[in-house]
A and B are shown apart, each in its own frame.
Chain A
Amino acid sequence: MSGTWTYIAQRTSAMIMAPLVILHLGVIVYAVRSGLTAEAILGRTQGSLFWGLAYGLFVLAAAVHAATGVRVVISEVTRWRGRSLNLAVSAFGLVLLLLGGRAVAAVVL
């Protein structure tokens, strides 16, 4: 049962990330080709609800996806399973969420 929910979390986070990765790559290409300065980029992102939600969702999906994926990799490569592994990958996901959230806050707020 818990395996089913982590599976659902991993697959839905992947589905959420797929269009957001494309959006992010598009932003990079646009910013580089247009020669935007950091100031110009921040001018567009600061106070923007759209960019805040887009990158906030990206960070959340990435944290969930990475944590659930690492849980599977560790359980297959090592003999580490069970509650302690779940706690460790949850902590890993939380760290990613905090670091990513901090980065999003830095460009949006």
Chain B
Amino acid sequence: MSTMSALNVSIWRGAADGRFETFEVPHSTNQTVLDVVTYIQRLLDSTLSYRFACRVGMCGSCAMTVNGRPRWTCRTHVTKVAPDLRLEIAPLRNLPVIKDLTVDMSDFFIKWQRAKGRFAPTKTRSDPVEKIIPDSRARQAADAGIECINCAVCYAACDVVTWNPDYLGPAALNRAWTLQNDARDGDQRQRLRAVAGDAGCHACHTHQSCQEHCPKNLNPTASIAGLKAAAFRAALTGKL
């Protein structure tokens, strides 16, 4: 790993009423934004708070706002997002800042539960395993959204969350949609009730910021559209 030049890095310090603090960090090839933050925390200012775990794009804990856009920092190369070698790193939007780059994720996960984003089994271990047809329409719809890593990038990117703090958000609704299409799940009617409403799928404006920013290239907007249609049908047939 060769060092080429210096990065000018502005990092948010403090809580909501904090400010940006600037650091100079050596730039190297294949350097990620998380590498930059880690360099600062380990060598320049050990009081810097941030969150990470796996460093390989699986755990969803290192998301931050990088040069104005929410991103997973462990898989974001500096050269890709800061060709002028200037980085501004802030906490995720739409979540309360605890300190520096760490946000309180409680609302995000509470909404996941409120959307009944929990698998409700219909069989016991003594029952035969459910046969799932991989290319069935429902299974393909579930598969399309199932790789979510709960990073909250979509939640931070969503303007509707900003405008309506009760809105469940793209991740929770995407999770609900995958379960609505899971043949093994037994709570689909209650879940549809939970996600249909002013704070649920009908609040989505189809801006598609969630799809634009999702690091896993998922399309929560499409999942939400599926929920809207399902709620529409259920309401008309008296099943909501």
Contacts and interface: CB of A to CB of B under 8 A. Distances in A.
Interface of A: 1-8, 11, 72, 75-77, 81
A76 B199 CA distance: 11
- 5 closest Cβ contacts across the A-B interface? A3-B197, A76-B163, A3-B198, A7-B202, A4-B196
Given A7-B202, A76-B164, A1 B232 contact: no
Which of A1, A7, A75, A76 is the most central at the interface, judged by chain B CB atoms within 10 Å of its CB? A7
A4 B164 contact: no
Contact of A3 (B160, B163, B202): B202
B163 A4 contact: no
A72 to B, nearest CB: 8
A1 B240 contact: yes
A72 B163 CA distance: 10
B160 A1 contact: no
Please tell me the size bucket of the interface on B: 10 to 19
- B contact face: mostly helix, strand, loop, or mixed: helix
Contacts of A75: 164, 198
- A contact face: mostly helix, strand, loop, or mixed: helix
Nearest to B235: A4
Interface in B147-181: 160, 163-164
B202 A4 contact: yes
B235 A5 contact: yes
Given A7-B202, A8-B232, A8-B235, A1 B197 contact: yes
B160 A76 contact: yes
21 contacts: A1-B193, A1-B196, A1-B197, A2-B198, A3-B196, A3-B197, A4-B196, A4-B197, A4-B231, A4-B232, A4-B235, A7-B228, A7-B232, A8-B232, A8-B236, A11-B232, A72-B203, A75-B198, A76-B163, A76-B164, A81-B198
B117 interface: no
Contacts of A7: 202, 228, 231-232
Given A1-B193, A72-B203, 7 more contacts: A1-B196, A1-B197, A3-B199, A7-B228, A8-B232, A8-B236, A77-B163
Contacts of A11: 232
B194 to A, nearest CB: 11
